[in-house]
Amino acid sequence: MKFPNFSEFRFSCFRQYFSIPEPIIFYAAKNPTSMKLYQKLIESCKYFFIKNPILNFHSLKICGNEWKVCKYNCYDCRWAETFCLNDIEKIQSKISVQYTLKIVSRTSPNCASSMISKMKECNPVNLKLSYQNISFNEFLVFSKTLQACILYETKIIYENGKEVPCENLISNLPKAFHFDLTLREDSFSDFSNTANELLKIPHFKNLYSLNLSGISGDFDIDTFFDYLKENKTTRMFLEFNHWTSSEYENKLQMIADEIIDDFNPETYKPPYIEFCGQISRTQLYNLYKKYYYL
């Protein structure tokens, strides 16, 4: 006697009980209108996962070969270890992440790129990539839904191989309230147009916090400082690289001194500016932290 496949048997019972034609069930399994609906379908019967396998996570963190998911499906993301994987390519299912996605790996700089190729209706609101290489098109896969974006020593490049400047990243983050970019030491990112281009972005002034580390000496600090003296919304943390000229560093020091000596809390939020030879680092940082949450 041949016994029926248990998943197919459960599906048959499910379909008959709810009097739903099989073509409609099959279409719903292959084309769920939302991941919430898909989750309910696969919880009711494994048949739906077999027909359209999607690993649906509230939050997912990948550190090297170690995968962790959010333990309580909560917004503070208490990570719990799940399993280890030597090669992400072994996963045949699509992957969906709804809240937080973190990928940190020095040894696998293309881990995020491999992950994104498997994404299905992935709409995270928080993203952190460390030591990764991804294309601009891959970044655009979920940039429209991000509220917080942290890129640590992660290189995002165009198809022609050029590095995407930070202003183009921010312009494609319409819902972001926090943006944090730390460039690699070997980065050749061009900052010559950054100040002017940032001020043209409509949602740039809606940012709650902006952290930029690795800024080069071609950044138009004069234009940007004029904006900073009117900024009452965004907490600015600007760190310049080690290759800025002494002339440029003198200009930065004059700006830092002006903030410390003439700052008025009713006019703007004090930024923090870090650079080689900063002689008022502690005073400026204390001022920055004092008014960070006000």
**The 3-state secondary structure of the chain, one letter per residue:** CCCCCHHHHHHHHHHHHHCCCHHHHHHHHHCCCCHHHHHHHHHHCCHHHHHCCEEEEEEEEEECCEEEEECCCCCCCCEEEEEECCCHHHCCCEEEEEEEEEEECCCCCCHHHHHHCCECCCCCCEEEEECCEEEHHHHCCCHHHCCEEEEECCEEECCCCCECCHHHHHHCCCCCCEEEEECCCCCCCCCCCHHHHHCCCHHHHHCCEEEEEEECCCCCHHHHHHHHCCCCCCEEEEEECCCCCHHHHHHHHHHHHHHHHHCCCCCCCCCEEECCCCCCHHHHHHHHHHCCCC
Domain boundary among 132, 157, 182: 157
CA distance 133 to 114: 10
**Residue that is written with structure tokens 């730390």 in the block:** 182
Domain boundary among 157, 178, 209: 157
**277 and 174, same structural domain?**
yes
**285 and 173, same structural domain?**
yes
**227 and 270, same structural domain?**
yes
**76 and 41, same structural domain?**
no
**222 and 143, same structural domain?**
no
**214 and 132, same structural domain?**
no
In terms of DSSP H, where are the helices of 99-193?
Answer: 111-116, 136-139, 166-171
pLDDT for residue 240: 97
β-sheet bridge partners, residue 157: 135, 163
**204 and 190, same structural domain?**
yes
- The one-character DSSP state at 252 is H
**124 and 41, same structural domain?**
no
Per-residue model confidence as pLDDT tens for the chain (294 residues): 344 444 444 444 444 444 444 444 444 545 555 556 556 555 555 555 545 556 778 888 888 777 888 765 555 556 665 555 556 667 777 788 888 999 999 989 999 998 888 887 778 999 999 999 999 999 999 899 999 999 999 999 999 999 999 999 999 999 999 999 999 988 888 899 999 999 999 999 999 999 999 999 999 999 999 999 999 999 999 999 999 999 999 999 999 999 999 999 899 999 999 999 999 999 999 999 999 987
**257 and 218, same structural domain?**
yes
CA–CA–CA angle 175, 178, 180 (5° rounding) = 125
Number of domains in the chain: 3
pLDDT for residue 113: 92
Domain boundary among 52, 72, 94: 52
pLDDT for residue 233: 94
**289 and 175, same structural domain?**
yes
| Residue 71 belongs to domain spanning | 53-157
| Contact criterion met (CB below 8 Å) for 149 and 180 | yes
**169 and 289, same structural domain?**
yes
Number of other CB atoms surrounding residue 87 within 10 Å: 10
**257 and 229, same structural domain?**
yes
pLDDT for residue 176: 97
CA distance 113 to 110: 5
